[in-house]
Chain A
Amino acid sequence: NAGVMQNPRHLVRRRGQEARLRCSPMKGHSHVYWYRQLPEEGLKFMVYLQKENIIDESGMPKERFSAEFPKEGPSILRIQQVVRGDSAAYFCASDPDGIGNTIYFGEGSWLTVV
């Protein structure tokens, strides 16, 4: 059973470009979380999704950021018009049943904005 897969692992974007980060949850998991980690800081919750639904996006910046988890395919975190402050590690986690006893994290996508 493959773990949570994130890609790309490393992404470099120029200011103003778009970044798309993908997350394939563990097989059979229908709940996905996205977290952001700035250098030398803890993880900050961004958004919680179930298949085709955003359940909680209270941690998502109001502008430029969006997330989806379609019926088929991976969850996507999209950052439009990136700025230097978006440089961070973005972690995805999946949950088998939404109860949340254990969630499983991917290895992260490191975004660098130059």
Chain B
Amino acid sequence: DAKTTQPNSMESNEEEPVHLPCNHSTISGTDYIHWYRQLPSQGPEYVIHGLTSNVNNRMASLAIAEDRKSSTLILHRATLRDAAVYYCILRETYNNNDMRFGAGTRLTVKP
């Protein structure tokens, strides 16, 4: 299984942008890059996903490197409610049950 590597923790100031990195050097051509986040005492929540092109939605942006070996989740203006563990996951298009969560990055947002 292709693996992802994320920093254990990051800090941000409120209302500033946050860039959460993820390395996935063994990604295959059919792997989608998914991001989920988990707030304290809650289930994970979908954030965004992409394959090759950068993606934007109301929650965040996903910047994917040209060689796809890394990606960055961008929160444009962090709020206190964005404090969570962020998981970067690779998901094969033809093996739909294979969504494996790593340890993720714990984001702390300071007021």
Q: Which residues of A contact B (CB under 8 A)?
A: 4, 31, 33, 35, 41-45, 48, 55-56, 91, 93, 95, 98-108
Interface-side segment among B21-29, B58-66, B99-107: B99-107
Per the 8 Å Cβ criterion, residues 26-63 of B in contact with A are 32, 38, 41-46, 49
Which of B32, B41, B96, B102: most chain A CB closer than 10 A? Answer: B96
Which of B38, B44, B93: most chain A CB closer than 10 A? Answer: B44
The smallest beta-carbon distance between B51 and chain A, in angstroms, is 10
Q: Contact check, B43 vs A107: say whether CB atoms are below 8 A apart.
A: yes
Q: Contact check, B43 vs A99: say whether CB atoms are below 8 A apart.
A: no
> Which residues of the other chain, A, contact B102 by a CB distance below 8 angstroms?
42
A-B residue pairs in contact (CB < 8 Å), sample of 11: A42-B103, A43-B38, A44-B101, A45-B97, A45-B99, A45-B101, A48-B96, A91-B43, A101-B49, A105-B44, A108-B41
Q: How many residues of B contact A (CB 8 A)?
A: 22
Specify which of A95, A101, A108 is in contact with B43 (CB 8 Å cutoff).
A108
Taken together as a complex, chains A and B put the C-alpha atoms of A43 and B100 apart, in Å, by: 8
Specify which of A35, A100, A104, A106 is in contact with B101 (CB 8 Å cutoff).
A35
